[in-house]
Structures are given as C-alpha cells and as structure tokens.
Chains A and B, each alone.
Chain A
Amino acid sequence: MSQEIREKMRVLIAEDDVINSRILEKNLLDWGYDVVLARHGEKAWQALQDQALRLAILDWMMPGMDGPEICARIRRRKKYQYTYIILLSAKDRKRDIIAGLSSGADDYMTKPVNYLELRARLRTGRRIIDLEDKLLATQKQLRDLASRDSLTRLWNRAEILRFLDEEADRSRREKKSVGVIMIDIDFFKEINDRLGHDAGDQALLRVVHRVKRNVRSSDRVGRYGGDEIIVILPDCDAERIQKVAERLRRAVGGRPMKYDGRSQRATISVGCAAATETADPRTLIRRADAALLSAKGRGRNCVVVEGVSGTPGKERQNDQPSKRQTR
C-alpha cells in the first residue's frame, strides 16, 4: 500500500440514518480516515464513480438504491480498481447475511455496530486493497518486461509492430500519414569485433540515447534487431520524416560519443518511408528497410527517404522512385 493510502484512505459512508452516519463519521475520522458521506443510494453510487474511493461502508436500507444493489453495480463495472465493501444491516438472520454477501459485499456487520470490530474489519479491507495494488504493480512490471528490450529499454520488436499497426489504423481513419525510420549503426560489427561486445553495447546505448532525445514524445523508438533501431512517427509525411531523419543522423554522428572508455565517433545510416492509408504496415517497414539498404549502398552516414504513396488509398507497388539522398 502506498504511504499516501496508508495515511489517508478515503471511505464512503452511505447511511441514511443521521445518528448512525454521525457516529461512523466521528469514529472513522478519529482512526485517521477521510470520509465521504452519502445519505441516499443514488448519491452513494455517484460518489463511487471516484476511483480514489476504494473502501465503502454501505447501509442495506437506503432511499433511492439499497446497499445490495450498489454492491451488485460495483461488481459489474469494468476498468475500476477493487472497491472493498462492508455492508451494514439490522438484518441478522443467516439468509440475510448470505444475500448481502452474495450481492457482492466483502463483509457484513449487523447493527448496532461494534466499533472495535469495525476498525479491525476496515484494516482487513485495507490489506486487501494493498494486495491488489501490489498485484497490479507486479502485472505492470511484467508487462513492461515483456514489451521492452532488456539492454536498451526500448520497445521490443513485437511491441513496436503492435504500435505500428495501431498507428496505421489511425492513419487510415484520420487520413493522416505515418512514418517509419530504420536506423543502422555504421560498421557496428567492426566495433564489436575490434573492441568487444561490451563496447558494442555501450555504443548502441549512446546512439539510442541520442535518438530518443531527438524525437517527439508521441514517436515510438524500438529495437528492431541487433543494431537496428526503428522509429514510428505518427502524423508524419515524407517531407517531415526527412528532416527528422537528418536531425537524427547529425545528432549521432555530429560529435563524438564516449564508449570503451574513450571518445569515439559513430555514424548511422537511415532509411525512411511514410504513407497515408497504409494497407499493410509491414510494407512500410519493408520500404524503410529498402531505403536503409540503399543508404548503406551509397556509402553510409546518410539518409534515404522512400516516396509517399502517390495515389491516396494505394500502396506504392515498387520502391524505386523519389529517392532523396542527403549527406
């Protein structure tokens, strides 16, 4: 549980009886909780739309909507973190308790409330919320591990392809172009062979650092494989992609970088492609890859841009025309 939650957790008290509500409020405030009050079922439901309300004490009988109905609604909703519910009722028959818990309540207390018991039960609720928070944090960590490259912390190939698919969909919907930049570190194999893999890793990390600093926060940078870096650029046409690619080339090769304990120069070759209404996102990668190959063929440390789709709604069938080269 985060420190913030531990110190000031907010609790909803949904109770139409003024006296019980006041006693609950006083005790909860004394125990260090923040309190939100509702004296009507509908108001309680409205208050529970606030994601920060994770603990709720609901009276069974309330005007508007009763406690079990609120429990059932809470359990039906998606995309909310868990809300721990204690249902209060004067109903103390077994079948009432079973009905209350079956509606989705986590706990059930009969009135008049024993406050030492309530305090302990609220602690139980906090423990459950704490566990859920930890579980979600672990899930996020695992998701992150599964979608990042372990060395560079860039998006891995699967994740970057998924992102490209999303962007291609969006470009079709919004009739905007999407760009792909493929980057290859020049003579990377020689760095590895000559200086060792540690130095190669360092060089790769330096290049990645410079690339990331020169793209927008909306662009996605991934490791496509080996020393190949890929950048997906939403809403980016051929003219703009060339400027970005040139900026990246200069950012990497324009000044020396430190790896293997000394200052050395590394350059990159860059291939780009951009398209509107991309039918197959993989085609865009193939075109950027072909442009990269072309850049390498032209002596490296340069940018080659493949042309934009000439006809909206159609992919270019061959990747030959409109090559632009800058050095």
Chain B
Amino acid sequence: MINRQNARPDNPINYTEVLERIGGDTEFLEELLNIFFLEFQEKKSQIEVALARANFSLIQEIGHSLKGASANLSLPSLRSDASALEAAGRDKNIERARQALISLVVECRALHDFVRKNPPQAQAQSV
C-alpha cells in the first residue's frame, strides 16, 4: 500500500508494482533508480551519436534496452517512449527517433523530480 497520491495512473513510476517485484525493499529500489539515472545519461549520449550517424541498429538496440529497464522499474511513460525509439530505429525513421529522444529526456526529468519529492522510503512509511 502506498500514498494515494503516489498511486495515480499518470505518475511516472508505479511504486506498488515495482516494490512488489523486489519484495518491498525501498532501499534497493533507490539503488536501482540511481543505476537507471546514471545509465540513462550514458545512453542519451549514445543515442545522440547514433542519431548524428544515422546508426539505426544502435538506436533500436538502445531503445530495446531502455524499454526493458523501464519495464522492470514500472516506469510506464518512459517505457512507451523507449518503445517508440526502438520502433523508429527498426523503421529507420530519424525524425521519429529524434522525437522519441526528446520525449524520453522530458520523462526522465519528470521521474527524477517525482522521486525526489516522493522517495521510495516514503512508500514504506505509508505501508
């Protein structure tokens, strides 16, 4: 059980779902989110290079990887954008890939802000 406000469907993270996946360990979730943010920065740079070189297979690969990570952390918006990036890479559509990256960056920032205001530990207190 988590704060009602934090369980809204438009939230960037579904705490209920992800905590269920990792046995309710909020510290572990914080660690995973930190890994995600670090990896996101790295992948963002890789996507920018791939876009500049029109390397569609790399775009598809990174999109696939981000899709998996966001699915595991129950980040619905990020998952959807990562899926769009993967599809753009597969379809060799540079414009859609650019749009997907912009959207990913916005969503990641939103997630970061949300987590700062509603840290995983706070979810445990509301159980």
Q: Footprint of B on A, CB under 8 Å?
A: 16-20, 22-23, 26-27, 30, 61, 90, 111-113, 115
Contact = CB atoms under 8 A, between A and B. Distances in A.
Contacts of B21: 23, 112-113, 115
B51 interface: no
A18 B72 CA distance: 11
A105 to B, nearest CB: 18
B71 interface: yes
6 contacts: A19-B32, A22-B35, A30-B23, A90-B64, A112-B21, A112-B74
A149 B93 CA distance: 76
A26 B26 CA distance: 13
Nearest to B79: A112
Sorted nearest first, the 9 A-B pairs with minimum C-beta distance are: A112-B71, A19-B69, A20-B72, A112-B72, A17-B68, A19-B72, A19-B32, A18-B35, A115-B21
Given A17-B72, A19-B36, A112-B72, A27 B67 contact: no
A19 B74 CA distance: 12
- Interface of A (DSSP majority class): helix
A17 B65 contact: yes
Contact of B68 (A22, A111, A115): A111
A50 to B, nearest CB: 27
Nearest to B83: A90
Counting chain B residues whose Cβ lies within 8 A of the other chain, the interface size class is: 10 to 19
A61 B72 contact: no
A112 B71 CA distance: 6
Interface string B18-62: 000111010010011001100100000000000000000000000
Contacts of A17: 65, 68-69, 72
Interface string B64-94: 1101110111100000000000000000000
A23 B68 contact: no
A77 B58 CA distance: 33
Given A17-B72, A112-B74, 7 more contacts: A17-B69, A18-B39, A19-B69, A22-B28, A22-B31, A23-B72, A27-B22
Nearest to B32: A19
> Which residue, of A19, A26, A111, A115, has the highest number of chain B Cβ atoms within 10 A?
A19
A115 B23 CA distance: 9
A22 B21 CA distance: 12
B23 A111 contact: no
A69 to B, nearest CB: 17
Given A90-B64, A90-B67, A111-B68, A19 B35 contact: yes
B120 to A, nearest CB: 14
Contacts of A112: 21, 68, 71-72, 74
A61 B64 contact: yes
Contacts of A26: 22-23, 25, 28
Report which residue of A20, A27, A61 has the largest number of chain B beta carbons within 10 angstroms of its beta carbon: A20
A23 B33 CA distance: 12
Of the listed residues B21, B23, B28, B68, the one surrounded by the most CB atoms of chain A closer than 10 A to its CB is B68
Contacts of A20: 68-69, 72
B25 A19 contact: no
A115 B64 CA distance: 21
A19 B28 contact: no
A22 B32 contact: yes
Nearest to B31: A22
